[in-house]
């Protein structure tokens, strides 16, 4: 008992030193996290709420874009100094794979924006001290400016696509292309420029048709 008491008394100063050596807040690191997080949120907000144009009525991916961006940023920033094992890294990719294949099909434009917000978040989180804030700001501003230009430029944003079910399969033959095109314009009320037949169901006398029409979003 005497030896145990002596051992505990010798360990107490060591334990106390270890306990009080732990810093509750690393002021410099916390400030760095706070500034970068707000900066990343501002950039993503501008991309999602001011530049991204949702062409599919009833479908809004803004929530997913912002939420995934913030989570990716925090994962990259907080685990930057952690040595990731191969299995853990593959697990992260598997999570994103599940998110992609377990949900409904996302259009190419929305997938592009999702990739952009993830990329922006990774850049803002993993930029080390060798990269100045001016370089980081320029990179973000370049991405924002480029996407804004692509959205407002009619050359890159002049055509939309829609999938419809079409029952007049007698018109799908190549010889009646012009007649079917005019019928699609009259029935949809859209300035259809061209169409493509995806598949035909002769049992139900229907066809899945892609119609391509001029972007009328600016006119509405």
pLDDT in tens, 195-209: 888 888 888 888 899
Say what the pLDDT of residue 42 is: 94
| pLDDT over 70 percentage in the chain | 68
Domain parsing of the chain, residue ranges:
27-152, 159-214
161-193 pLDDT per residue, tens? 788 899 888 888 888 899 999 999 998 888 888
Which phi and psi angles does 159 have, rounded to 5°? -135, 135
Average pLDDT over residues 3-25: 51
Burial bucket for residue 73 (CB in 10 Å: 0-12, 13-18, 19+): buried
Evaluate whether 160 touches 212 at the Cβ level (below 8 Å): yes
What pLDDT score does 220 carry? Answer: 41
Distances (CA, A) of 199 to 162, 179, 185, 187, 205: 14, 19, 20, 20, 11
In terms of pLDDT, which residue wins out, 62 or 22?
62
Q: What is the pLDDT of residue 142?
A: 93
Which band of pLDDT confidence, cut at 50, 70 and 90, is reported for residue 140?
Answer: very high
What are the pLDDT digits (tens) for 34-62? Answer: 899 999 999 999 998 888 876 555 567 78
Per DSSP, the three-state class of 56 is coil
| Residues ≥6 apart with Cβ < 8 Å to 73 | 36, 37, 40, 121, 122, 124, 125
**Whether residue 87 has pLDDT greater than 70:** no
pLDDT score at 138? 92
Task: State how far the alpha carbon of 207 is from the alpha carbons of 10, 34, 68, 155, in Å.
Answer: 84, 54, 37, 30
Provide the pLDDT for residue 205: 84
Which strand (E) or helix (H) includes residue 166?
Answer: strand 159-166
């Amino acid at each position: 008992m005497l030896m145990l008491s002596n051992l505990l008394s010798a360990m107490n100063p060591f334990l106390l030193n270890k306990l009080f050596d732990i810093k509750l807040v690393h002021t410099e690191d916390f400030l760095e996290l706070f500034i970068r997080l707000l900066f990343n949120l501002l950039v993503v907000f501008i991309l999602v709420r001011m530049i991204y144009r949702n062409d599919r009525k009833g479908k809004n991916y803004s929530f997913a874009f912002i939420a995934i961006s913030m989570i990716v940023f925090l994962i990259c920033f907080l685990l930057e100094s952690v040595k990731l094992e191969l299995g853990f890294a593959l697990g992260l990719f598997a999570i994103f794979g599940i998110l992609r294949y377990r949900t409904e099909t996302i259009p190419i434009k929305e997938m592009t924006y999702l990739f952009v917000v993830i990329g922006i978040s990774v850049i803002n989180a993993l930029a080390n001290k060798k990269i100045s804030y001016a370089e980081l700001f320029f990179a973000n501003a370049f991405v924002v400016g480029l996407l804004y230009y692509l959205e407002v430029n009619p050359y890159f944003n002049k055509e939309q696509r829609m999938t419809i079910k079409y029952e007049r399969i007698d018109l799908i033959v190549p010889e009646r292309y012009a007649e079917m095109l005019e019928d699609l314009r009259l029935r949809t009320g859209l300035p259809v420029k061209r169409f493509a037949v995806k598949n035909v169901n002769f049992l139900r006398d229907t066809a899945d048709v892609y119609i391509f029409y001029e972007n009328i979003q600016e006119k509405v």
